[in-house]
Amino acid sequence: MNWDWQIFWDSFPRLLDGLVIALQATVIGYLIALVLGLVFALLRRSRLVWISAPVGLVVEFIRSTPLLVQLFFLFYVLPQFDVHLSTLMTGAIGLGVHYATYISEVYRAGIDGVPQGQWEAAKALNLPARRTWTSVILPQAIPRSAPALGNYVIAMFKDTPQLIVITLPEMLTTAQGIGSETFRYPEPITVAGILYLATALVMSWIARIFERRFGTVRAA
């Protein structure tokens, strides 16, 4: 057994800084995913095949290829097109676009779960399409999606270590950095693992509270 408790405890402050960056990437990425996921879900419902089919193809493609490679692609290819973003933004966009494809399926299931009678009622009341969506369908569809949406925040946070490949100083990158300075890898990596696990457990606890609070469709 070869273990240095000094390095173990000394790793915490810097790794907590990494945790903050990982959480920032998660929050920005999640906001992108929530909005873009809804856009994907609505476009896939379009009656025009030349809209719904290409969007469907893109969504299925993004969903079946590794996030890691997508991050490489964004990180190395965007600058070639003169798009210069910070690594935090690149990472958040990568996470957001990847998870938008999952979240669009969650919205789809939520929209499909709205009873047919609600659509018919909106039509009978002669509501325009926009009102039908904003006042009738989405207020019922989104709470139905809430539990699954919460799970994806946690899933996304757990994918932040992959941002190591675009050199974002999140937790795993920091752990590796400490390792190369002190020549001791086990302690910082173990601390990072503990912090990831603890944060994910806290997040799932918060998600359960949110689910109880917002997860029910209000009867108006």
Partner 1 sequence: MSAGLWNYMFEGLLVTLQLTIFGAVLGLVFAFAAGLARLSGNKLLRGMGFAYTEAFRGLSALVVLFWLIFVLPTVFGVQLAPLFAGVLALALNIGAYGAEVVRGAVRAVPRSQIEAAIALNFTPWQRMRKVVLPQAVVAMIPSFSNNLIELLKATALVSVVFLSDLTFGAQLVRASTGNTAGTFGLLLVAYGLIALVFTTLMRLLERRAAASLGRTVPPGMIARIFRRTEASA
- Note the residues at the interface with partner 1 (CB under 8 A): 1-3, 44-47, 49, 52-53, 56-57, 60-61, 63-70, 72-73, 76-77, 80, 158-162, 164-165, 172, 175-176, 179, 185-186, 189-190, 192-193, 196-197, 200-201, 204
Q: Cβ 65 to partner 1, closest distance in Å? A: 4
Q: Of the two residues 93 and 189, which places its CB atom closer to partner 1 in the complex?
A: 189
Residue 9 or 135 with smaller CB distance to partner 1: 9
State the minimum distance, in angstroms, from the CB of residue 198 to partner 1. Answer: 9
Q: How far is the CB of 219 from partner 1 (least distance, A)?
A: 29
Question: Cβ closer to partner 1: 145 or 188?
Answer: 188
Pick from 53, 101, 145, 18: which is nearest to 26 by CA? 18
- Distance between CA atoms of residues 19 and 17, nearest Å: 5
Place of tokens 């018919």: 120
Q: Do 165 and 72 touch, CB atoms closer than 8 A?
A: yes
Closer residue to partner 1 (CB): 123 or 135: 123
Rounded to the nearest whole angstrom, what is the least distance from the CB of residue 36 to partner 1 in the complex?
18
Query: At closest approach, how far in Å is the CB of 26 from partner 1?
Result: 12
Smaller CB separation from partner 1, 190 or 214: 190
Task: Work out how close the CB of 84 gets to partner 1 at its nearest, in angstroms, rounded to a whole number.
Answer: 15
Nearest Cα residue to 68 out of 156, 174, 165, 157: 165
Whether the Cβ atoms of residue 168 and residue 91 lie closer than 8 Å to each other: yes
The angle subtended at Cα 165 by Cα 160 and Cα 166, nearest 5°, is: 90
Record the tokens describing residue 186, joined without a space. 């086990």
- Between residues 20 and 57, which has the closer beta carbon with respect to partner 1? 57
CB distance 88 to 168 below 8 Å:
yes
Contacts of 123 (CB under 8 A, 6+ apart): 132
Least Å distance, CB 23 to partner 1, is 14
At 183 the three-state DSSP class reads: coil
Q: How far is CA 218 from CA 30, 113, 123, 142, 214, in A?
A: 25, 15, 21, 11, 9
Nearer to partner 1, 80 or 126 (CB): 80
